[in-house]
Structure 1
């Protein structure tokens, strides 16, 4: 169990400050609250019972949350299935965003087990069968729940219902990027999520296994106590399944496998768990008397027949304070001042937090080969004929094009590490594992060193032969790559203005012997604003502060330093701006007004500079081209596809074309696209849609190479976008790094792999 508040499905009276109407829905009672907001029982104008969730005020003030929320609402609308609570209405753009789902008059699984104890095996099998079908519907809509837990499973007479699929992720992602912490329910988060890896459908299977263990034993499969202890056991220890019926032990054990690839697929679970028989001997028939334990069934049935409160007359107890009578017995009279909420300090200063970092390919000089490997014998390559997207050109003649070439790979080694964001530094590969910065020899995979300060686990770059790393506490470290010894370290106090407290780095860039940091700082309690930002420059050889520039408004996480200029984005009161600062002094060179919409200004998400033009993409799917010397607009490009996506790093410019990927800000597992745009005019050349969010790796012999979060490598003809083949690399994000014709990547087996690749004619 977790310490979070369980939503109570039997409604309770409204309280002072609760709304009386949200959109077209009349609010009649409270159902509960959670990490994203408050949940109310409501009536539609036609009398339909709905559950309306109203997000917390601080999230409503966060534009990055609104972007995620808008995307997740769109994804949730696609989910349809008999064991999900469908989304029926939403308004992500309201002053306080809200959504409405069909009301399920049932107990949560957590409340049922806490009140009535453990379930018999057949009831647990029925529960698992319904939940597996719910997950199949959710995954079919390209949504990963990521927060399946007892409070998100409601029990109805005709089967369980999964709620909050994909919706709570917006709040969780916002909290995670703000605090840098893993957000979720201990014991139900899969190990890959706890160690910072991508979470796919197999993560939901892990949570399903944990739910089955909880229903059958009354305790979590990894014990209780502090979250850090539970999370440690999830990652490093076997589950405790004592008390689990023998008939369930095998399926639960497989669901809780540490390796996501070893967990059963959802269709397999539907087949295996769907063979349950109810108390009346009928197979797989969901009625209260056949699948639920008797005491739970009685409670659920009573809730199902409870009347929904009717419209109650309003009487006046005070001329200024209307009183609203709510509910059936017990009756409560709630007094609330209506109208706009009182003003409060803005939460905007905390909006970005530690932004989700996207591993950026290490690109060599122009014209160099950028390659990706397929592990022979680990995952079999699969080639598919035909385009996987919407490339709309024709094949070329002469030398083989992308449409007439094939990938070849030769594995060199695999190591017993699982690096996050590996980077090649000389003859070593550096990365973070289990919170420690480590280095392997690039030619053999043997361990070279481990940095002895566990706080400095985030690799930031290389300058003059020194590895630069940062810690959550704000300390910047200079490390000798030969032996992993510290050369210098500088505390965040060096660039923290008096009266502020360091909170976190949103981006660190190492360039030209200098470490440039985007940082957020807390202001004293009671201040008009909650936080402030600054861009600072540190000497990479000594750690000495060169300059710092305070940013009163919100600083985007994207940052680039090219030819003595620092480029970054700031969201101000009247919209978003793109800034250029002198890299030596921090003085502002120019400011470009990127968006004039204060309500939805967009965030700067990707930057590249080429031939005197700076190209930057934002979270509204707009690509801008600006004169790098004067800061004047050259052109903008916005795809005409449905939906809004953000531009992803890296942007690549080659032969007069800007290549970039776009994807969802909500989840890496949403569909995306690779796009080609004319560098001189912003004219769209082609778009190749991808099954999951893409990451570009550069150009190789007329082909654009890109991988996706689904674990596949693709080639696209650089002229037309035609993509005839895909090769399976991993069960998730391969997190690849490229250097000198060699690739280092995660094969999905918890190991780092190295290999070489070539693109040859057939």
Structure 2
């Protein structure tokens, strides 16, 4: 926890202003994975279900002027859409543009306690973590000159970011309090790949590095203090916090492809199973009973029982298609598959894998997943954000 060592390379700028309300609606989508558990699951969705999904009709679309779009957040009636010029806020029920915060790359976004956290930067410019109010004003900004921030996790009132420099000689994770002060830092560690979760014990998961290569280990670290709670002697990618467990991927090139369930308390293995090659290329969605994996090399969307890891069902997807992160909401699993010029979003029953709805997307994309929140489905299509709801 060498805060003094990092002080010379970072800077904190504060802006005074009344804090926004910390309350958010139960059906909001507050991070890329939906919430701090990173399950890509909106458990509160009741309007769009297997009975109503066929009635989805487009209500509005926003043309942004850029195809470099990220995955949106939806909070308190506002859509926050990341793009290559920063983040723009739109009204969630009509697409009216509210404001834009400019940065020089497609940022990582997360919402917590009335603040939108924006992590941005490139190898050519300093990286910044900024806390914005709901009306786009900066509460504070922290600047890092020597690494590119590329991973962001929020939970329990804290924020963690990490990154490396171009040749991997500098690796660092920083944790912040809500007021922008640094809680702790860990040199030589980054948040594990695609692991933007904070589990039920308030832990984030770090990858230690051996000089310029990641070590064969994973650390569970208390987000409030930086204390190492436990260590697994394998390089894992914890993807979702489920009750008292963490479901994690293990991917070693063409050698090892496995899915693990670990105890959040001590890291003990509860079960582990083999998956198809590169099933880790996309995130995993999880509800209360199953984990859903988009397995490109198996040409399938697969549901695995969270108590055993065994396959409950497997739904075919177009052969050799590029697959997005799956999303679960209203008893449905959503998945976008792109094969050549054919790009389609499909919905499957979570209980059986039966496909019940397909929407053909007439524009290209970059692997963005849909977001289902508060009775709406939001979809990035090329340079557009489209919004649907049942009618």
The correspondence for 1:512, drawn from 176, 200, 204, is 200
Quote how far apart the aligned CAs of 1:628 are.
0.8
Quote how far apart the aligned CAs of 1:518 are.
5.6
- Equivalent-residue separation in structure 2 for 1:700 and 1:427 (angstroms): 18
Quote how far apart the aligned CAs of 1:460 are.
2.0
RMSD over aligned CA atoms reads 3.7
The correspondence for 1:421, drawn from 94, 99, 108, is 108
- 1:389-437 deviations in whole A, cap 9, x for unaligned? xxxx9997xxxx4337456233333334456123223232221344332
Quote how far apart the aligned CAs of 1:705 are.
2.2
- Equivalent-residue separation in structure 1 for 2:52 and 2:45 (angstroms): 26
Kept in 1: contact 2:116–2:131 (CA 8 A): yes
Kept in 1: contact 2:41–2:329 (CA 8 A): no
Quote how far apart the aligned CAs of 1:580 are.
0.8
Quote how far apart the aligned CAs of 1:700 are.
4.5
- In structure 2, relative to structure 1, the CA distance for the partners of 1:602 and 1:426 (3 Å cut) is closer
The correspondence for 2:352, drawn from 675, 681, 705, is 681
- 1:584-640 deviations in whole A, cap 9, x for unaligned? 111110012223xxxx5643522122132222223324222111112222111221x
The correspondence for 1:705, drawn from 371, 378, 381, is 378
Quote how far apart the aligned CAs of 1:550 are.
1.6
Quote how far apart the aligned CAs of 1:651 are.
1.7
Kept in 2: contact 1:456–1:477 (CA 8 A): no
Q: Which residue of 1 aligns with 2:57?
A: 403
For the residue of structure 1 that corresponds to 2:57, the secondary structure is: helix
- In structure 2, relative to structure 1, the CA distance for the partners of 1:682 and 1:465 (3 Å cut) is same
Q: Which residue of 1 aligns with 2:65?
A: none
- 1:182-233 deviations in whole A, cap 9, x for unaligned? xxxxxxxxxxxxxxxxxxxxxxxxxxxxxxxxxxxxxxxxxxxxxxxxxxxx
| Structure 2 residue 239 is the aligned partner of structure 1 residue 559 | yes
- 1:2-28 deviations in whole A, cap 9, x for unaligned? xxxxxxxxxxxxxxxxxxxxxxxxxxx
Q: Which residue of 2 aligns with 1:696?
A: 370
| Structure 2 residue 313 is the aligned partner of structure 1 residue 635 | yes
- Equivalent-residue separation in structure 2 for 1:463 and 1:696 (angstroms): 23
Quote how far apart the aligned CAs of 1:534 are.
2.3
Aligned length: 305
Which one has the bigger helix percentage? 1
Q: Which residue of 1 aligns with 2:172?
A: 475
Which one has the bigger strand percentage? 2
Quote how far apart the aligned CAs of 1:459 are.
5.0
| Structure 2 residue 266 is the aligned partner of structure 1 residue 608 | no
Quote how far apart the aligned CAs of 1:537 are.
0.3
Q: Which residue of 2 aligns with 1:488?
A: 184
Kept in 2: contact 1:677–1:683 (CA 8 A): yes
Kept in 1: contact 2:238–2:246 (CA 8 A): no
| Structure 2 residue 287 is the aligned partner of structure 1 residue 649 | no
Q: Which residue of 1 aligns with 2:273?
A: 592
- Equivalent-residue separation in structure 1 for 2:52 and 2:116 (angstroms): 40
- 1:528-568 deviations in whole A, cap 9, x for unaligned? xx8653222001111011111122xx75x562222121112
For the residue of structure 2 that corresponds to 1:431, the secondary structure is: strand
Q: Which residue of 1 aligns with 2:66?
A: none
- In structure 2, relative to structure 1, the CA distance for the partners of 1:438 and 1:591 (3 Å cut) is closer
Kept in 2: contact 1:514–1:537 (CA 8 A): no
Runs of 5+ unmatched residues, structure 2: 1-30, 61-92, 165-169
TM, length-normalised to structure 2: 0.66
- In structure 2, relative to structure 1, the CA distance for the partners of 1:672 and 1:450 (3 Å cut) is same
| Structure 2 residue 332 is the aligned partner of structure 1 residue 661 | no
Kept in 1: contact 2:175–2:223 (CA 8 A): yes
- Equivalent-residue separation in structure 1 for 2:172 and 2:53 (angstroms): 52
Alignment of 1:54-73 (within 5 A): none
Kept in 2: contact 1:558–1:606 (CA 8 A): no
> Which structure has the greater CA radius of gyration?
1
- 1:46-69 deviations in whole A, cap 9, x for unaligned? xxxxxxxxxxxxxxxxxxxxxxxx
- 1:94-151 deviations in whole A, cap 9, x for unaligned? xxxxxxxxxxxxxxxxxxxxxxxxxxxxxxxxxxxxxxxxxxxxxxxxxxxxxxxxxx
- In structure 2, relative to structure 1, the CA distance for the partners of 1:505 and 1:576 (3 Å cut) is closer
Kept in 2: contact 1:395–1:403 (CA 8 A): no
- In structure 2, relative to structure 1, the CA distance for the partners of 1:470 and 1:369 (3 Å cut) is farther
Kept in 2: contact 1:506–1:520 (CA 8 A): no
- Equivalent-residue separation in structure 2 for 1:366 and 1:707 (angstroms): 22
- In structure 2, relative to structure 1, the CA distance for the partners of 1:404 and 1:672 (3 Å cut) is closer
| Structure 2 residue 215 is the aligned partner of structure 1 residue 542 | no
Kept in 2: contact 1:466–1:481 (CA 8 A): yes
- Equivalent-residue separation in structure 2 for 1:364 and 1:426 (angstroms): 20
Alignment of 1:126-205 (within 5 A): none
Quote how far apart the aligned CAs of 1:489 are.
1.6
Alignment of 1:453-464 (within 5 A): 453-454=144-145, 455=147, 457-458=149-150, 460-464=152-156
Alignment of 1:564-575 (within 5 A): 564-571=244-251
For the residue of structure 2 that corresponds to 1:681, the secondary structure is: coil
Kept in 2: contact 1:661–1:672 (CA 8 A): yes
Kept in 2: contact 1:617–1:624 (CA 8 A): yes
For the residue of structure 2 that corresponds to 1:448, the secondary structure is: strand
Kept in 1: contact 2:371–2:378 (CA 8 A): yes
Alignment of 1:260-299 (within 5 A): none
Quote how far apart the aligned CAs of 1:486 are.
0.8
Kept in 1: contact 2:175–2:183 (CA 8 A): yes
Alignment of 1:34-73 (within 5 A): none
For the residue of structure 1 that corresponds to 2:246, the secondary structure is: strand
- Equivalent-residue separation in structure 2 for 1:467 and 1:603 (angstroms): 25
Q: Which residue of 1 aligns with 2:83?
A: none
Kept in 2: contact 1:474–1:504 (CA 8 A): no
- Equivalent-residue separation in structure 2 for 1:479 and 1:424 (angstroms): 14
